[in-house]
């Protein structure tokens, strides 16, 4: 039997970032860069107009006022995507749209609102300084700049930079393929008829949601009965994935064959049973170098064990630097007395912001209770040695569903 801290340490020691891979830009969102990215180009690639207006020579319009405008001949229309055919000489101007290249000879843009256009001529009502409303080449990024560092998470801003630089295949740590293996004779699928003695399989669906939320790829294997041969067969097949999650069949029951099956396959057991609640019978193995999580079958325990162990492990495999949910100190909003002394309790709590942030029990805390799981904003970590908490006492929580409006 290990502590939560020991168990987590063992799990993380046995998970390493997957081998980097180049993947399509469209699929890179949320993944972590596995290489530094140096810019092959200037962004923007050429001097261009920041405004709709007229490209002029600043020296031509030095004296311009509303009373005595300077009149220039319009010699070309420059839309974004086109370029100038000639120089802008003294006394000339080109009509220019935002994003169009600054024509040679011109050194400033006069915004449309400071001009009056009439029959091939433009009257300039105000002088401009050289460089006004010109976005110079390389203003944002210069050739050779280290633009994105290894370890950066590819969010929308990074996607924009990669697209601008023409990097259509991005070096990242690929999302792990996660096998979801559900065991139990009592389980039926969500669309199947319930007959006496059966219950619906919830863990396949909750684990699928959790794997997706991390950004990994879930592969669901057919639900297996409590029969050793069937479990072994599915485990062998699941070895095509990077990570295996089994749910159910790791308790002390007569028909809990997951442990035995993994032993037969030569898996190395790192721990079985953690001094925690819920999720006491959790187990962890490695099989052919791949992490295998034995998650207890009780639905709330399954969600919590994924949250506290599998999620950080997957994030480590995905190259993230920060593996854990934000850990925040809050105050208990009510008294709490522990049922299982000597074990760390993951308490499903709701948070309320008043003078401080207060935690209230989100409902009954049994391992099978899903409603309190659904209602919880956070998991409070009540340490092994703490048997009770008084209203107003401090407690650490992992924020799992931090509401956007908090
Ligand atoms: P086990 O870990 O197999 O001993 O299961 C513990 C409890 O969780 C039992 O009440 C099971 O019926 C239940 N259980 C196991 N697997 C699932 C599942 N996939 N969905 C819902 N409940 C489950
Ligand atoms: Mg079972």
Q: Which residues contact 124 (CB under 8 A, 6 or more apart)?
A: 54, 56, 61, 64, 69, 70, 71, 72, 93, 110, 114, 115
What is the CA(359)–ligand 1 centre distance, in A? 29
186 lines ligand 1 (CB under 6 A): yes
Can you give the CATH number for the domain in which 155 is found?
A: 3.90.105.10
Model confidence pLDDT, tens digit, residues 120-165: 999 999 999 999 999 999 999 999 999 999 999 999 999 999 999 9
What is the CA(207)–ligand 1 centre distance, in A? 13
298 lines ligand 1 (CB under 6 A): yes
* Backbone φ, ψ for residue 338 (5° rounding): -75, 145
Domain with 97 in it? 48-135
d(CA 215, CA 125): 56
pLDDT mean across residues, the chain: 96
- 322 lies in some domain: no
Could you tell me if 111 and 95 lie in one domain? yes
To test ligand 1's pocket by mutation, which of 181, 184, 225 has the most ligand atoms within 8 angstroms of CB? Answer: 184
- 12 lies in some domain: yes
- 97 lies in some domain: yes
Region 55-63: mean pLDDT is 98
Could you tell me if 180 and 292 lie in one domain? yes
Could you tell me if 122 and 148 lie in one domain? no
Can you give the CATH number for the domain in which 384 is found?
A: 2.40.340.10
pLDDT at res. 252: 82
Closest protein CA for atom 14 of ligand 1 = 297
pLDDT at res. 256: 87
pLDDT higher than threshold 70 for residue 403: no
pLDDT tier at 402 (50, 70, 90 boundaries)? confident
Domain boundary (135, 162, 192) is at 135
Structural domain tally of the chain?
A: 4
Can you give the CATH number for the domain in which 239 is found?
A: 3.40.980.10
Residue ranges with CB less than 5 Å from ion ligand 2: 184, 248-249, 297
Q: Which residues contact 400 (CB under 8 A, 6 or more apart)?
A: 307, 325, 376, 377, 378, 379
Model confidence pLDDT, tens digit, residues 192-235: 999 999 999 999 999 999 999 999 999 999 999 999 999 999 99
Model confidence pLDDT, tens digit, residues 257-277: 999 999 999 999 999 999 999
296 lines ligand 1 (CB under 6 A): yes
Could you tell me if 394 and 279 lie in one domain? no
pLDDT at res. 171: 98
Could you tell me if 12 and 26 lie in one domain? no
Could you tell me if 191 and 311 lie in one domain? yes
Model confidence pLDDT, tens digit, residues 165-179: 999 999 999 999 999
Could you tell me if 155 and 254 lie in one domain? no
Closest protein CA for atom 10 of ligand 1 = 298
Can you give the CATH number for the domain in which 84 is found?
A: 2.170.190.11
pLDDT tier at 250 (50, 70, 90 boundaries)? confident
* pTM for this entry: 0.94
pLDDT at res. 199: 97
Q: 344 forms bridges with which residues in the sheet?
A: 276
Could you tell me if 52 and 65 lie in one domain? yes
To test ligand 1's pocket by mutation, which of 182, 231, 256, 297 has the most ligand atoms within 8 angstroms of CB? Answer: 297
pLDDT tier at 251 (50, 70, 90 boundaries)? confident
pLDDT at res. 406: 55
pLDDT at res. 255: 80
Model confidence pLDDT, tens digit, residues 74-109: 999 999 999 999 999 999 999 999 999 999 999 999
Domain boundary (105, 135, 165) is at 135
Q: Which ligand does the CA of 184 lie closest to?
A: 2
Could you tell me if 187 and 294 lie in one domain? yes
Could you tell me if 304 and 341 lie in one domain? no
Instruction: Please choose, from the candidates 269, 264, 290, the residue with its C-alpha nearest in 3D space to the C-alpha of residue 281.
Output: 269
- 340 lies in some domain: yes
pLDDT tier at 404 (50, 70, 90 boundaries)? low
Structure tokens at 194: 């319930």
Could you tell me if 107 and 152 lie in one domain? no
* Backbone φ, ψ for residue 216 (5° rounding): -90, 175
pLDDT tier at 405 (50, 70, 90 boundaries)? low
Region 330-352: mean pLDDT is 96
36 lines ligand 1 (CB under 6 A): no
231 lines ligand 1 (CB under 6 A): no
Could you tell me if 393 and 348 lie in one domain? yes
Instruction: Please choose, from the candidates 376, 377, 30, the residue with its C-alpha nearest in 3D space to the C-alpha of residue 212.
Output: 30
What is the CA(126)–ligand 1 centre distance, in A? 77
With beta carbons less than 8 A apart as the criterion, state whether 161 and 169 touch.
Answer: no
What is the CA(291)–ligand 2 centre distance, in A? 21
pLDDT higher than threshold 70 for residue 382: yes
Domain boundary (135, 163, 195) is at 135
């Amino acid at each position: 039997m290990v502590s939560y801290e020991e168990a987590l340490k063992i799990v993380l020691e046995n998970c390493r970032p997957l081998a980097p891979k180049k993947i399509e830009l469209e699929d890179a969102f949320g993944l972590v860069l596995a290489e530094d990215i140096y810019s092959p180009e200037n962004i923007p690639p050429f001097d261009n107009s920041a405004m709709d207006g007229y490209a002029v020579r600043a020296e031509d319009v030095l004296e311009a006022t509303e009373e005595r405008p300077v009149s220039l001949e319009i010699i070309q229309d420059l839309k974004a995507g086109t370029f100038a055919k000639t120089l802008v000489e003294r006394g000339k101007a080109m009509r220019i749209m935002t994003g169009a290249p600054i024509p040679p000879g011109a050194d400033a843009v006069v915004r449309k609102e400071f001009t009056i256009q009439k029959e091939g001529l433009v009257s300039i009502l105000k002088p401009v300084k050289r460089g006004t409303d010109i976005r110079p080449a390389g203003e944002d990024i210069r050739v050779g700049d280290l633009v994105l560092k290894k370890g950066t998470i590819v969010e929308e801003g990074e996607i924009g930079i990669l697209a601008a630089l023409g990097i259509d295949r991005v070096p990242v740590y690929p999302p792990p393929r996660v096998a979801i293996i559900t065991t139990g004779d009592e389980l039926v699928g969500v669309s199947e008829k319930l007959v006496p003695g059966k219950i619906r399989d919830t863990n396949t669906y909750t684990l699928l949601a959790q794997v997706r939320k991390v950004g990994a790829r879930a592969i669901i294997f057919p639900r297996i009965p409590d029969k050793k041969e069937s479990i072994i067969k599915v485990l062998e097949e699941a070895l095509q994935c990077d990570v295996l999650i089994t749910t159910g069949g790791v308790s002390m029951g007569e028909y809990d064959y997951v442990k035995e099956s993994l032993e037969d396959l030569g898996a190395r057991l790192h721990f079985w049973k953690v001094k925690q609640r819920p999720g006491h019978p959790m187990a962890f193995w490695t099989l052919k170098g791949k992490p295998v999580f034995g998650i207890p079958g009780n639905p709330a325990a399954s969600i919590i064990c994924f949250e506290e162990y599998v999620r950080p492990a997957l994030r480590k495999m995905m190259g993230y630097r920060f593996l854990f949910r934000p850990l925040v100190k809050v105050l208990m909003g009510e008294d709490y007395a522990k049922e299982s002394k000597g074990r760390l309790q993951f308490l499903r709590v709701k948070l309320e912001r008043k003078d401080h942030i207060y935690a209230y029990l989100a409902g009954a805390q049994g391992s099978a209770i899903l409603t309190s799981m659904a209602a919880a904003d956070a998991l409070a970590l009540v340490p092994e040695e703490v048997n009770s908490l008084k209203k107003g006492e401090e407690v650490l929580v992992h924020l799992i569903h931090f509401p956007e409006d908090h």
